Structure 1
């Protein structure tokens, strides 16, 4: 099948997925580029439509996956269609329409000795995506997005995850409900603070640990802070006052990985 006109009804529907309200309404989102589409296919995400630039042809990296996916519609489109559906100035030659995965927090809660990252009001999509990528790299068991976080399916968030969103559970949740449930199951709720009682290098990261990361401007909300079991500090030798949320989360995750015996110590 081919679609050439950017005014086509289906193309307008795909382009609308750049907006959160349309993603929420349809339960679908767009991933752009060979790497991300490949990651979605490898993870067996529910890819409904794969659209590729007719002039450039189907990317060779994706050809091997086409037979394996049941019920996926493959459509050749014009550069104008690609451009209309793209969120970047230099559109990629392929994009996919993917159905959101309906997964709850329960899958993360039931894991014993879990290392989990919880984001509270982290609004920058680049930071949210980078934290998901770091959590994946450090072997974390999941990422939970509380209220006020950037949308997981925002094109910038998706790009920043570099495919990691398909590698570990990433779920949205109400922290006032989820955090007490985690604590009941033995998780230690840990946040960072400039007045932390322990350094992240002397804190014991073994056992079930949920790392709470807040926004750069405000930190975690007072409601979330009231649930914290322990706050730790990331020591700094230089004159910078603080680190951005993604950097702070990454340092904690990798120290956690090191202590827990990951990464071949």
Structure 2
């Protein structure tokens, strides 16, 4: 199938996916570039279609990655269509439309030793994407995004995940209901605090722990703070006052991985 005109109705629907309200309404989102489409195919993501630059053909890196269960529609499009549907300065030769998957929350606390990252108002898409990538790298069970956090399906967030969003469950929800349920299931909630007594290196991360990461400037909300069980600090030797949200999350995730795997 070929689509050349940016005025085509399907193209208009794809272009709308650059805005959150349309992603929510269509229950779909867009990924751009060979690497992300590769990761989505490998992970068996629910792809509606893959659009590629007809002048350059299907990228060779994507050949043969589709599984028999996926049934993806491949569409040849013009560079003008790609330009309309992507938000990068130098458009990639391929993009895909992905149907959102809904991850049942219970899966996250059914794992007795589950390590989960909870984002409470982390607003920067780069930080959210990097935290998802670090959670994937450290073997976390999933990531929970509370209200006020950057949209995980924002193109900038997706790019920052480098494909990790296809590798682990990502749940968007209301922390006011999710956190009490997790605690009832035996999860301990941990956050960082400069005033904390315990260092992250003396804390026991081998239990079922959810790391709560707060807003870049204000930290976690008062409502969330009341639910946190333990506050820990990341010791620092130099003169920097603090780490950014993604770096702090990464340090904690890798300390948890170290304790679980290399003790």
**TM-score using structure 1 length:** 0.97
**Aligned position for 2:31:** 31
**Aligned position for 1:73:** 73
CA distance in 2, matches of 1:105, 1:214: 20
CA deviation map 1:80-138 (0-9, x unaligned): 11111111001110000010001121110211111110000001111000000000000
CA distance in 2, matches of 1:67, 1:147: 35
The question of whether the paired residues in 1 share the 8 Å contact of 2:14 and 2:85 is answered with: yes
- Indicate yes or no: 2:2 matched with 1:5: no
**Aligned position for 1:111:** 111
CA distance in 2, matches of 1:232, 1:91: 43
CA distance in 2, matches of 1:69, 1:60: 21
CA distance in 1, matches of 2:67, 2:177: 42
**TM-score using structure 2 length:** 0.97
1:206 is displaced (CA, Å) by: 1.0
**Aligned position for 1:244:** 244
Map residues 160-171 of structure 1 onto 2, 5 A cutoff. 160-171=160-171
**Aligned position for 1:257:** 257
- 1:194/1:88 CA distance change after superposition, 3 Å: same
**Aligned position for 1:231:** 231
Instruction: Output the aligned Cα RMSD.
Output: 1.1
CA distance in 1, matches of 2:167, 2:96: 18
Of 59-68 and 145-154, the range deviating more from structure 2? 59-68
Secondary structure of 2:65's counterpart equals: helix
- Indicate yes or no: 2:161 matched with 1:179: no
CA distance in 2, matches of 1:117, 1:140: 8
The question of whether the paired residues in 1 share the 8 Å contact of 2:44 and 2:70 is answered with: no
1:212 is displaced (CA, Å) by: 0.3
- 1:60/1:80 CA distance change after superposition, 3 Å: same
1:67 is displaced (CA, Å) by: 5.9
CA deviation map 1:199-241 (0-9, x unaligned): 1111111110110000111100000000010100011111111
1:68 is displaced (CA, Å) by: 3.1
1:71 is displaced (CA, Å) by: 3.1
Secondary structure of 1:64's counterpart equals: coil
Secondary structure of 2:15's counterpart equals: helix
1:190 is displaced (CA, Å) by: 0.3
The question of whether the paired residues in 2 share the 8 Å contact of 1:41 and 1:69 is answered with: no
Of 40-49 and 224-233, the range deviating more from structure 2? 40-49
The question of whether the paired residues in 2 share the 8 Å contact of 1:105 and 1:173 is answered with: no
Map residues 126-137 of structure 1 onto 2, 5 A cutoff. 126-137=126-137
**Aligned position for 1:210:** 210
CA distance in 2, matches of 1:160, 1:63: 25
1:69 is displaced (CA, Å) by: 4.9
CA distance in 2, matches of 1:171, 1:185: 17
What are the ranges of 5 or more consecutive residues in structure 2 without an aligned counterpart? none
- Indicate yes or no: 2:132 matched with 1:151: no
Give the aligned length.
263
The question of whether the paired residues in 2 share the 8 Å contact of 1:116 and 1:209 is answered with: yes
Secondary structure of 2:63's counterpart equals: helix
